[in-house]
Structure 1
Amino acid sequence: MSGIPTLREGRTTIRPIRLRDARTLERELAENRGWLRKWEATNPHGPMNFDVRASIRSLQQNARAGLGIPFVIEYDGELAGQLNVSSIAYGSLSSATIGYWVSERFAGKGVTPTAVALATDHCFFGVGLHRMEICIRPENGPSLRVVEKLGFRYEGLRRRYIHINGDWRDHFCFGLTVEEVPAGVLGRWLSGRAPADAATVPAADRAKAARPL
């Protein structure tokens, strides 16, 4: 965990998650239950008791094993959400996946794209990874706007990909490689050079996602 940096841009900061964040995270998750529940991963084999402290310990264990990088997102010093880099692979694959959530009262402030850009740049230029992936439910408009802003490329529809809110859900998947952002994801976005149409989902895939298997 000591190798995870604290990164800032403007009013947004991402920093390593700590056990002492548990109480604040519990409060945020409870207060934002209606906002977050429809996007939460669930257990396909039965109820899942969510223990925030146990979750933090698990994230920290994965970080020590080099398999993940767990961040807390802050806005003006206030805890605003979480961002987790997971499924880190090295060697010939050199890739990872990003997942995140932000409390409703921080939506629309640029917090999430800033946090995603900071984390992706760290993975590319600090960790030495080659590719980052973000998978998003077709109904999740705010998250889709994040990849649109940052210029992640649309890569395809994955049917019934992750168990979310009680069922297997389709996801649109987006990717980015380090060669595409030599000046960094954050720099490209802030300078207005992120391609406006990279994350465009073809109409055929939107139609497929609207039809359950």
Structure 2
Amino acid sequence: MFMNFVQKRDMLLPIAKFGAPILRHRGIPVDLEDPGLQNLIENMWETMYHVNGCGLAAPQVNKSIRLFVVDSMPTYMQMEDAERNIVFDGDQGIKEVFINPVITSRSERIWWDEEGCLSIPGITLRISRSWSVSIRYFDDQLHERTRTFLGITARMIQHEYDHIEGKLFLDYLDAGRRLLLKNRFDRINRDDASGS
């Protein structure tokens, strides 16, 4: 069954904001034969770069499917060498499409760092993630791959993977911290509803 991905090439896609039900749905597998898949991927890249993101998942552009894109190379380029050596761990970043991904393992080693989300603008939070992650997926050429990623790149992948699972980075907060932020979340919903 095709998901009707056919859309105009080079089109900015609307980003679903916090409170949109689609952000809480687990995505369904992508039909690799869908004729509009490559256009959707190109439009996701264009949308992500337009809003200065480093990753974007299909549910964030109102497609409840298992697809996301990550580009950690600009983050790598913006860092000083000493910081790069720590958070990239020898990696130089990636630009990659992840179709129907499955995380097969996560390291026990964790680390804390700031995260933001294009669907929750204006909020960054310190979140714990696994240092490394192994993932099986199809790339943009529809080749099946299995790779292990480290540091910042692994963090970005885990963040986007959560989106296709219907999870947000806010879910890592305890109930007390979520309550403290509730007013800010309500303001995002009000601003979005009023078109601000």
- Per the normalisation by structure 1, the TM-score is 0.27
Structure 2 length-normalised TM: 0.28
